Every structure is written in structure tokens, then in C-alpha cells.
Structure 1
Amino acid sequence: MAIFDLKALRHRMSDTSDWWSIQKDELFEMNEGNVAFLNLGGDGQYQVKVVEDLPDVNAGVYLKSPSGEFFVGAGEDATGGGLEPDGSDAIQGCSIKLNAGSYLLKFERSGGVISLAFLPSEVSFNEFAEPVRLKD
């Protein structure tokens, strides 16, 4: 699953369509706060719920949102290969409108339900050494 502001990843438009599958590129963009890639461990259909907060979750991913609109969807729909999410039927995801700024994205998975909380933050970068795995 990928969560990002299209403006924050637009610089990847001319890159290959699967740039995100190269771990160093994935981690670079996550650490810059441009995208959150959440490895779900397998393909499938998931219900995504946006909630105000996840108080029992102590970690997350800091994200930049220059436009105030996040795409939430399949990782393979991340900007690249001359394409970005455009609302067409080929795209697996949706957009969430917030204020422009920086956010702490907290997340939790329970079976096929993924809960996301976008909390305003002054921080917009991360220091991940490994990809993020979202376990059930």
C-alpha cells in the first residue's frame, strides 16, 4: 500500500514504473517524507478507514503534503513510468483531502481492515533502515 501526496512524488514521474521495488529508492523517498509504503505481506482487497487517532499506536511515518491531498492505494500505482494516480478505473485507491502541511501517519491492521490516522506534525522526515511491514 502507498500513501502519498502527488506533488511530493511528482519528481519520480520520469523514473521507471517500478522504481519503488528497489529498496534503497523506497527507503530514500520514505525518509524524505514523500511516501509511506506499507508492506501488507500479500495482494488482496483491504478496507481502509480514516480515523482521528490511533492512541495505542506509538509509531508511524512522517509525510509531507504540499497540496493537502493524499493518494491511498496500491503500491504499484505510485507515481512513475510517466503515470500517476488520475482517478481512472485502472487505479486502485482513493484520495483524502486535508490541509497542506506535514503529518504523522499512524496505521494499524486488523484482518482486512487498515486504519489510518493523519496527525498534524512539525516533522516531515523519517530515519528508516528497513521497509515498513504492516502485520495483522
Structure 2
Amino acid sequence: MSIEFSVVADTATLAIFDLKAIRHRVSDSFDWWSIQSDEISEMNEGNIAFLNLGEDGRYKVKVEDSLLDPSGGIYLKVPSGRVFVGAGEDTSGGGLEPDGSSTIQGEFLSLEAGSYYMSYKVESGVICLAFSSSSKFSNDLADSIRLAI
């Protein structure tokens, strides 16, 4: 798999999640994840990954089969096999979730249902991601994930 696309992020954040894994947050406020304890809790449960980008803007994202020398990684639950990779402001909440409409900044990936280790790095200004199957789905993060772009 090699997919490239651009995302315009107005919250300086890239969010990666299976809609089913984070569906319990749909009825929460639209910006529930801006509370760091909620952000970290959901990432530690393996429900979502938030990558802090440092500033708003247009970012290129590339999803590959594997990455050489990733800068980090996070375990994720993928119960439905439908994974959204997009702008943080399109995270499920406020009664809404990404639906593929033209107002949504991101793309849906199809993966086999299960658990994954998502590795990441920035290479020549491009956010690179790779998903590898894993039996583990939880994390032990104490702080947000920040990418140097």
C-alpha cells in the first residue's frame, strides 16, 4: 500500500482512528480531545492517535507498507477496518464523525480488523505512516506526540 494525499489542518493536529473505536466520543463536545488528559487517555486505550504538527497548514501524508527508521509509533485498535487519517478538527465529536464528504480533510484507509502498530516519521516535510499487525493495542504515553516538521 502506498497512498499519498494532502490534509489542511486548522488545529495543528493529524488524527488517525477507526470510527468504531472512537464512536463513544461522538456525543461529547466537538473539541473533547483538546483536553490533554482526554487526548492521552484515548491514545493509551489505543482508540486514536493524535500527532501534533506544531502549526496549522497544509500537510502531505504518505501511507506506506513499512518505514525505515521511524521516529516513533503507537498501537491502535481497528475494530471495523475503516481508518480515518485526517485533520484533528474532523475527529468524532459534537454529534459528528468523518463521513467522506468534501468538507472533511482526510482519507479513509481499509485495513483488516484487528490491532496495529502505526509507525510514523517526517521525511522531507512529508508525514509518513505505516501500519503493521500487532497483538497489542494499548499504550503508556505520558505526553502528547509531537512531530518536528
> Normalising TM by the smaller chain, what interval?
over 0.9
Contiguous gaps of at least 5 residues in structure 1: none
How far residue 12 of structure 1 moved from its aligned partner, in angstroms, is 0.2
Q: Normalized per residue, which structure has more strand?
A: 2
Deviation >2 Å, runs of 4+ = none
Aligned to 2:62: 49
Aligned residues: 136
Q: CA deviation at 1:48?
A: 1.0
Q: Which residue in the other structure is 1:36 paired with?
A: 49
Deviations 1:35-59 (A, max 9, x none): 0000010111111111111131263
| TM-score, normalised relative to structure 1 | 0.96
Matches within 5 A, 1:1-136: 1-57=14-70, 59-136=72-149
Structure 2: runs of 5+ lacking an equivalent: 1-13
Q: Percent identity?
A: 60
Query: Counterpart of 2:7?
Result: none
RMSD: 1.0
Measured against aligned partners, the alpha-carbon deviations of 1:107-134 in whole angstroms (never above 9, x if no partner) come to 1113431110001001000000000001
Question: Aligned with 2:120: secondary structure?
Answer: strand
Contact 2:26 2:92 in 1 (8 A): yes
Which amino acid is 1:34 matched to?
N
Residues 61-109 of structure 1: per-residue CA shift (max 9 Å, x gap): 1000000111000011100000000011111000000100000000111
